Amino acid sequence: MCGIAGIFHYETVKPVDPKRVERMTDALAHRGPDGSGVWTAPGVGLGHRRLSIIDLDGSPQPMRSADGRAVIAFNGEIYNYRELRRELERGGAHFRTDGDTETILAAWQKWGVDCLSRLDGMFAFALYDIDRRQLFLARDRFGVKPLYLAQLEGGALAFASEMKGLLANPLMRRVIDPLAIEDYMTWGYVPDHRAILKGVEKLPAGHFLLLDHGRAPGPPQQWWDMDFTRRETGRTEDLSAQLLHLMREGVTSRMVSDVPLGAFLSGGVDSSSVVALMSESSAAPVTSCSIGFDVESVDETAYARQVAELFATDHHERIVSSAQFGDIDRIAAIFDEPFADASALPTLRVCELAREHVTVALSGDGADEAFAGYRRQAFHAREEQVRSVLPSGLREPMFGTLGRLWPKADWAPRPLRAKTTLLSLGGSGEAGYARALAILSPEQRELLYHAAFLRERGDYRAEQPLEKLMRDAPARSGLDRAQYADLKFWLPGDILTKTDRTSMAVGLEAREPLLDHRLIEFGARLPHRERLRGTSGKWLMKRTMERYLPDDILYRQKQGFVTPLAEWFRGPLASEARAIASSELLTGNGLFARKALSRLADEHISGRSDHGRVLWQLLMLERSLRHLKPSA
C-alpha cells in the first residue's frame, strides 16, 4: 500500500524536475513511510511512497520492467499475482522480484490494457511505456484506491493519490468549484464525478486513461462495470453454498501478507462474518479491533466483544468521546476535500488502534451495497411497487401535493417521515432514491444558500448525476438500480474514501474482502427474494452465516457506525455550532446566508429541531476551507 504522484507533458515534451515530483510524493509520506523514489524521463516523471506489505525488501518503486522498457508507480495490492506470475512465466516472462508490482508490468507488456480484467485486487497505478511513449493510468473496479488528476498550465497533467499531492505542485490553482459545494451539501462528500477545486478530477472507478505526447487527453474509458440484468437460478441451499465459497475466497485471498494482519470488528453482520471466516482459516488467533462511544444508545462494543469471545480473537477496544473532537482540524487535513461522514472520527480511531498491533486490517465494507443491506433500499423497493401500480400522472398530483403540505418530522425514523415518503412517491423512482440518500433536500439547501451562490449554481442540482446513473443502469428493477447507485456513487465517494484516508493517515493497509469482484457480481445476479425479504436485507448472506454467528448478531436491527452528533452539538460542541453562523469562510464570501445558519444553530441547541448532521456538515466544510486556503 502506497502513495503515487507524477507529471506528464502531453502538449510539448519538456523535462520534468525530479524535485517537483519529490515534493508531491513527500506530501503523501503518511501513505508510505517505508521508502520513496522518483523516476523521470523526457516529458514524464513518476514518484512513489512505499508501505511495505509483500516482498518487504525486494520491490522498490518506481519499478522498471525486467527488459527496462516500462516503468510503474503502483498503489494497492494484487491478490492473484502469484497465479498471474506463473502464467506469464510460462509465456517467457522473467522476474527479478517476488512481489505483485513487477507482475503488473509483465501483464501490461503481454496483454496491454486487457491486463486490467486479469487483476484481482485494489489498485491505482501510473505505468509509462518507454517504447510507445505512452502513460497508462488505471483504477480498480470499485475505486478502493484513489487517483486525482489536474490539468496544469503548459499542457501537462499532474496526478496523485490524494489532493494534497497535487497541491504540492506550485502550478496548482486553488479555486473552489461552486457545483462541488452543491454536491457536498447534498451528500456530505464530493462525489467522484467532481472535486472541490476547479480543474481537478478523479479517475472514476473501473476506468483507465491512455496518454500520448503530442495529443490532448481524451475522456477516461470504462474497463469494468456491474451487471444486474441476469439472474441466478437454483435452490436457496445451492446459492448459499456458492455464496459461502465466494466469501471464503474473498477473505483468504486478502490474508496474504508478510506483515502482521488483523480485522476491524464492529459487532455487525459484515465485520463479524469476516472475522468468522478469518478465524476458520487461521492457525493463530485473529487480532480484532473495535471502537465504542461514550453515549450508550449508539455504543456496540458489547456485540463486538461477544463475537471476539466466540472466536477467541486477540481483541482490543477503545471508546470515542466528544472530548476527542480536538481532531476536527486533523480530519479536515486528512481528507483535503470536505467530508461530513461523522463516522470518519471513530474510523480514524479504530485505524489508530489497529496500527498499534498490525499493519494490515480487513474490513466489512461492501456487503450492504452488494446484498441490499440498507433500509433505504428496502423502502425504495416498496415505493417502486406503488409507482408500478399508479401512473405518474396520478401520483404527482396525489402524493406530491400532499407531501408539500405535510409537516416535517426529521426526528422520526424514515418509515414515519410521511413528508419524505409522499414527496418521493410523487416523483420518479430515481428522484425518490436521490431524496432518500440526500442529507438536505433541494428545498432545504436553498434556505441556507446566499442569493449570490444560487445565481452562480444556476440550474444544476446535485441529484441530477445520480438520477442519470440510475436511469442508465444495467438493471431490471428498482432494487437493482438502487444497489447499482450505491455501488457506483455512494461506495467510492463516501465509504471507500473514508476507509482509505483514515487508514493511510496512520500507515495502515485496509482490505475489503467482501468487495471481491466475483462476490459482487454474484450478488448482482441473485433473485430479489434472496437479497431482500420484507424489510430484511442481506437475507441470503445472513442465512449463510447462521452456522457461524448467533441470531442476535445476524438479525438485530442494523445500526451502522452511528455518531451521537445531536447530543454533542447540544453539549460540548454547542460553541462550535454557534461559531458556524459567524464564520467568514461560510458567510463572508457569498456561500451561505448568515441568518439561516444562526437559526439552524439556535433551533438545534434549544432542542426544537435536530440539525446535528447538518451542523457537522457545515463545520467540516468550514475546516476544509481553512485547510485548502482557496484563492478568490
The strands making up 261-264's β-sheet, listed across from edge to edge, are: 314-320, 287-293, 261-264, 360-362, 509-511
- Catalytic-labelled residue, pool 2, 115, 289, 351: 2
The DSSP line for 181-202 is HHHHHHHSS--TT--SBTTEEE
Q: Is 508 left (phi over 0), alpha (psi -120 to 50) or beta?
A: beta
Cell numbers standing for residue 568: 454533542
Report, in this order, helix, strand and coil percent for the chain, each rounded to 5: 50, 15, 35
Alpha helices (H) in 162-289, listed in sequence order: 163-167, 178-187, 236-253, 269-281
Cα torsion through 282, 287, 288, 294, rounded to 10: 170
Helix (H) or strand (E) holding 589: none
What sign results for the dihedral spanned by CA atoms 578, 580, 581, 583? positive
For 187-222, b/e burial (b = at least 16 CB within 10 A) is bbbbbbbbbbbbbbbbbbbbbbbbbebeeebeebee
Cell matching residue 303: 456485540
Distance between CA atoms of residues 230 and 475, nearest Å:
8
Phi and psi, residue 170, nearest 5°: -65, -15
Cα 579 to Cα 153, 325, 598, 601, distances in angstroms? 38, 15, 9, 9
Active-site residue flag, 2: yes
184: cell is 457536498
Q: What is the torsion angle, in degrees rounded to the nearest 10, for the CA atoms of residue 606, residue 608, residue 612 and residue 617? A: -100
Does residue 178 contact residue 462 with C-beta atoms inside 8 Å?
Answer: no
DSSP code for 41: E
Q: Angle 269-281/301-310 helices, nearest 10 degrees?
A: 20
Phi, psi of 41 (to 5 degrees): -150, 170
Query: What region does 133 belong to: left with phi over 0, alpha with psi -120 to 50, or beta?
Result: left
Radius of gyration of the chain (CA): 24
Q: Give Cα separations from 243 to 523, 527, 631 (angstroms).
A: 8, 13, 51
Cell output for 105: 508490468
Q: What CA–CA distance (Å, rounded) separates 282 from 4?
A: 32
Determine how many CB atoms are found less than 10 A away from the CB of residue 319: 14
Among 72, 213, 65, which residue's Cα sits nearest to residue 132? 213
- Please choose, from the candidates 583, 604, 605, the residue with its C-alpha nearest in 3D space to the C-alpha of residue 594: 583
- Of 357, 367, 365, the C-alpha closest to 262 is 357
Q: How far apart are CA 626 and CA 632, in angstroms?
A: 13
Residues annotated as part of the active site: 2
